[in-house]
Chain A
Amino acid sequence: MNCRSEVLEVSVEGRQVEEAMLAVLHTVLLHRSTGKFHYKKEGTYSIGTVGTQDVDCDFIDFTYVRVSSEELDRALRKVVGEFRDALRNSGGDGLGQMSLEFYQKKKSRWPFSDECIPWEVWTVKVHVVALATEQERQICREKVGEKLCEKITNIVEVMNRHEYLPKMPTQSEVDNVFDTGLRDVQPYLYKISFQITDALGSSVTTTMRRLIKDTLAL
């Protein structure tokens, strides 16, 4: 199975990094989340309801829609915050990227760990720019807002191609396809990682999230 890969690029001011990343990640996850599955007898299941809410950005003239799930929002804010801090502390040219990967688990026999097979990867490349005057910042607010509008349109275009999606699983296999750990919504299994690019352009991995998860995954 080929993994679908989409790349987005944004140039933002330092304080806009968090909101820009959240806007993109939440928009993707809005399309890749369903209601909670409730399996019943006779092999039937029902699906819960996904609520949505608008989020106004403070540093960008932009509003995005996210799934009404505080758990999901907290999880995204945590990793985006780590990315923002890593960017700030890197001391490089302010280049970095985050990857949102949707995957399926394939059970393996002991002692081998389950295999994670990605089926869609969204990569958001960020370039942080420094601005000197308030006028430049005001212009940047509007420009980044317009750019994010384009990115959302791009995301929607990809989503509506109706390309590969994992098949609906049985109750025993639902955890191989969906993240059932949230109380109110059920996104496809996903993992988020980020990288900071140093001044030389070589990739310096600053997060161990993927390695830790893969190593400790059982």
Chain B
Amino acid sequence: METDLNSQDRKDLDKFIKFFALKTVQVIVQARLGEKICTRSSSSPTGSDWFNLAIKDIPEVTHEAKKALAGQLPAVGRSMCVEISLKTSEGDSMELEIWCLEMNEKCDKEIKVSYAVYNRLSLLLKSLLAITRVTPAYRLSRKQGHEYVILYRIYFGEVQLNGLGEGFQTVRVGTVGTPVGTITLSCAYRINLAFMSTRHFERTPPIMGIIIDHFVDRPYPSSSPMHPCNYRTAGEDTGVTYPSVEDSQEVCTTSFSTSPPSQLSSSRLSCQPAALGVGSADLGCPAVFAAGLNTTHPYQLMVPGKEGGVPLAPNQPAHGAQAGDQERLTTYTPSDGAHCAATPSSSEDTETVSNSSEGRASPHDVLETIFVRKVGAFVNKPINQVTLTSLDIPFAMFAAKNLELEDVDPMVNPPDSPETTSPLQGSLHSDGSSGGSSGNTQDDFVMIDFKPAFSKDDILPMDLGTFYREFQNPPQLSSLSIDIGAQSMAEDLLSTLFYILEICDTLQMNTMAFHRAQERPDPKHTAGKRQS
């Protein structure tokens, strides 16, 4: 339900919600890249740091998010969702999380758009930064590598939680009330990590996202030289170029006022209208974050569209004061609790960007954003192989076993220089038409145990220390040891035996003496006795 929000407030609110949605996607996706994120604080305000937070904009992610939004904003019944899933090197995939940005009908009519809503959205983004590190998928994403990679998908519409398995849990990041509804950000995450049958995956739509080719350098021209893109056709030009921030991202130069009420006038944010030019309109390719444990190459976010390509345009902030709408200035007092933006009076505000300028040719960006070179599991493959491996149908690898999978399996033969064909064109049509299921696809699979030796062993609960101690002092062989109890018993028996023998000797001697006495004849009695 809308209130009598004036048009300017409504415009500002829509802008806030739009960029909040974009920044939300950036935070979530960057938290699943597999490495630590670091951005610098800047005491001087910059022109493109929305919500006063240094959150980098990965061009492909922004592009995908805008494509998913398609000019709409999250509203009642229309949620923006970011799906995080895991895909193994065998082709099995599993949804891990669904992050939802929703809007409900509960309105806060009293809240000031240009101050309270803005600051609360900033607080919510900070909360999102914290929460994205505490869900189970974070630790999985930090360990992604040869065995599996983490994918993301952005969609707009109804939230789909079916793929999370039974007993999934939810965590609410936070809410912000606005005059047009309450924004809610939450996450539903899987707790059962056993793989499900393929039947489940056949019902789910293919993952549409962005493939990250980790053998290609970062998209920033200032960084290390570009390696050949294995998704780019030989001889082609760049193909897809992503609009730089100065073309596509509106600049938010925020300035607040502490003037007393007598100086009230109108003020609004000064922003650049979006010139959203997309090089390739149809870039619905699956997304893979291929990050290996052995970091050897910088990985790059790229969208292997029809032409293939690498975003070359740097993510430059727009020069807010020199293009776009210059809007009126309004100041409010801090006691009103309302703060508004002032139009930047010069281009200096936007040219002092240091944190968000991703196209600058300086190591500054290298320090700010950590994109570590990693070796992924299944890139640099010929189109047919990658088509199979990149299909969202699980067990596609099993279906095409007759191919030279072993020869191109990166785990067997590490890939050499990347190929030039786009490996993912087939994946656009990965709706179950190929791959199918083999006999063993009906079985459930269990997550690989990543525990190192002796850290935890359910079969033999023994840690390294115990193992060492036990085998340092092995027990004596039982055959070589004589039980003390048995020994004493034996000794007792032996002594008893000796005693018996002595008795026997004594008896024998006595018997012999008796017989000798009997055999000695008695001169007086022996004849008579013998005769009788």
Contact = CB atoms under 8 A, between A and B. Distances in A.
Interface of A: 27, 30-31, 34-36, 38-40, 42-56, 61, 63-65, 67-69, 133-135, 138-139, 148-149, 152-153, 155-157, 159-160, 162, 167-171, 183-185
B177 to A, nearest CB: 8
B259 A44 contact: yes
Interface of B: 36-46, 49, 52-54, 120, 123-124, 126-127, 129-131, 133-135, 138-139, 142, 171-177, 253-260, 263, 331, 333-335, 337, 339, 342, 355, 368, 454-456, 461-466
Given A31-B127, A170-B334, A52 B255 contact: no
B258 A44 contact: yes
A52 B129 contact: yes
B130 A51 contact: no
Closest 4 interchain pairs by CB?
Answer: A160-B174, A43-B259, A54-B36, A149-B134
Contacts of A50: 41, 52-54
A43 B37 contact: no
A49 to B, nearest CB: 4
A65 B41 CA distance: 13
A48 B54 CA distance: 10
Given A159-B174, A167-B334, A61 B39 contact: no
Contact of B38 (A34, A68, A135, A168): A68
Nearest to B256: A45
Given A50-B54, A51-B42, A157-B172, A168 B120 contact: no
A162 B45 CA distance: 25
Contact of B42 (A35, A135, A138): A35
A61 B333 CA distance: 46
Nearest to A35: B52
Contacts, number: 183
Most buried by B among A44, A48, A167: A44
Contacts of B53: 49-52
A58 to B, nearest CB: 14
B295 to A, nearest CB: 16
A42 B331 contact: yes
Given A51-B39, A138-B455, A156-B131, A42 B54 contact: no
10 contacts: A34-B52, A38-B43, A48-B44, A68-B38, A134-B463, A153-B171, A156-B173, A159-B126, A162-B176, A171-B258
Contacts of B171: 153
Contacts of A35: 41-43, 45, 52
Given A52-B126, A68-B39, 9 more contacts: A31-B123, A46-B45, A48-B45, A51-B41, A54-B36, A68-B40, A139-B456, A149-B134, A167-B335
Given A30-B129, A68-B54, A153-B131, A52 B37 contact: yes
A152 B123 contact: no
B41 A27 contact: no
B123 A44 contact: no
A170 B263 CA distance: 15
Nearest to B50: A49
Contact of B257 (A45, A52, A68): A45
A44 B256 contact: yes
B196 to A, nearest CB: 24
Most buried by A among B49, B174, B258: B258
B111 to A, nearest CB: 9
A53 B369 CA distance: 10
Contact of B463 (A39, A48, A135, A155): A135
Contacts of B43: 35-36, 38, 48, 183-184
A141 B37 CA distance: 23
Given A61-B139, A65-B129, A153 B41 contact: no
Contacts of A38: 43-45
Nearest to A36: B43
A67 B41 contact: yes
A162 to B, nearest CB: 6
Contact of B133 (A44, A64, A160): A64
